[in-house]
């Protein structure tokens, strides 16, 4: 059973397009996250939702819009894609509140390439 | 503000030898500390964490880490390295007393571990 799943695994698109990445967790966790990992493997938090409520909204261009239809899903929509958006995007989840000591479970990642 | 540093971009060790991957942190209070491992083309996997209590924490796959408050360090160790341990290792910190900042888990830049057969 896949704990945290993301679709698609690979996404290749042209500049200016709009795309979405979907994430689902079957762990019953309350909090979900989106991270961006750049080409140097640096990992940075983008957003966090707790029970469908936005908790963390880092300095991310407003072209990025997360949506949480329920606490098991957190999707990421990106408008007007730019070359600099090319990266691997990871979804993660954890039990309880974001500030708890519970570890996060990561999805397999979505490799986004903007041409 | 919380921060974490992994001073080595890469660590190489011979199979069967002990390994250490270094991590130092900076927080205003007592930290929550984590180690994660990332294998090629995979997501991060949790290895171990320090919350409170014993300074020596044992985790998955034979890894352990020692919390040292005076040196603000949380180095990852394993007594005998395996080739299959070769991966990218991330240290992460959360300061639970930093207000809004406590919601964030801050990751180090990662250390690539190569275990040579």
- What does the pLDDT read at residue A54? 86
**Token pair for B53:** 């209590």
B43/A4 touch (CB, cutoff 8 Å), yes or no: yes
What tens digit of pLDDT does each residue of A38-94 get? 999 999 999 999 888 888 777 789 999 999 999 999 999 999 999 999 999 999 999
Q: Write the secondary structure of B48-102 as one string of H (helix), E (strand) and C (coil).
A: EEECCCCCEEECHHHCEEEEECCCCEEEEEECCCCHHHCEEEEEEEECCCCHHHH
Q: What average pLDDT does chain B have? A: 93
Nearest CA in chain B to A56: B103
Taking the Cβ of residue B109 and every Cβ of chain A, the question of whether any pair is shorter than 8 Å is answered with yes
Dist. CA A77–CA A86, nearest whole Å? 14
pLDDT above 90 covers what percent of chain B?
Answer: 77
A101/B109 touch (CB, cutoff 8 Å), yes or no: no
């Amino acid at each position: 059973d896949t704990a945290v799943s993301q679709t698609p695994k690979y996404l290749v698109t042209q500049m200016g397009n709009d795309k979405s990445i979907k994430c689902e967790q079957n762990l019953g966790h309350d909090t979900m996250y989106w991270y961006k990992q750049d080409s140097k493997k640096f990992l940075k938090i983008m957003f966090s939702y707790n029970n469908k409520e936005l908790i963390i909204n880092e300095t991310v261009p407003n072209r990025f819009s997360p949506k949480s239809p329920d606490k098991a899903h957190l999707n990421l929509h990106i408008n007007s894609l730019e070359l600099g958006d090319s990266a691997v995007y990871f979804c993660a989840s954890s039990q309880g509140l974001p500030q708890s000591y519970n570890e996060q479970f990561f999805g397999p990642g979505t490799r986004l390439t903007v041409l | 503000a919380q921060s974490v540093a992994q001073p080595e971009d890469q660590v190489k060790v011979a199979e069967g030898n002990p390994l250490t991957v270094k991590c130092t942190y900076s927080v205003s209070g007592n930290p929550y500390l984590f180690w994660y491992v990332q294998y090629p083309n995979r997501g991060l996997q949790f290895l171990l964490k320090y919350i409170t209590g014993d300074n020596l924490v044992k985790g998955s796959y034979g890894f352990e880490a020692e919390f040292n408050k005076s040196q603000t360090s949380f180095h990852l160790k394993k007594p005998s390295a395996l080739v299959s341990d070769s991966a990218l290792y991330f240290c992460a910190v959360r300061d639970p007393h930093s207000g809004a900042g406590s919601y964030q888990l801050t990751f180090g830049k990662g250390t690539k571990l190569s275990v040579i057969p």
